[in-house]
Amino acid sequence: MARELGVIAELQAAETLHDNKNVTIGFDATTQEGTHVNSIHFTTEKECVAGAVDELAGGTAEDYANHVWRHQCQLEEDDT
């Protein structure tokens, strides 16, 4: 079931990026009980959708940039 929800979230994020001219990408991270999690979200004039929620090994700017980049590449790959 978790995999299906992930696919639906990726589809929703891809549709949001495809259907809107202006989209702001953001991310937020937290560490809870030793697990560092980062979320990526896309905001348009009318909505905000989650693109990914993943565990990251670290919390550096490079870790976040790589996470956003990998997720964006995955969305583009799934769209083709």
> For residue 52, is pLDDT > 60?
yes
> For residue 5, is pLDDT > 80?
no
Residues 6+ positions from 39 with CB-CB distance below 8 Å: 27, 28, 29, 50, 52, 53
Delimit the domains of the chain by residue range: 2-79
pTM of the model: 0.76
Give the pLDDT confidence score for residue 76 in this predicted structure. Answer: 72
Instruction: Tell me the C-alpha to C-alpha distance, in Å, between residue 40 and each of 20, 34, 57.
Output: 17, 20, 16
Give the pLDDT confidence score for residue 22 in this predicted structure. Answer: 96
**Listed range (5-14, 25-34, 53-62) with the worst mean pLDDT:** 5-14
Confidence of residue 78 (pLDDT cuts 50, 70, 90): low
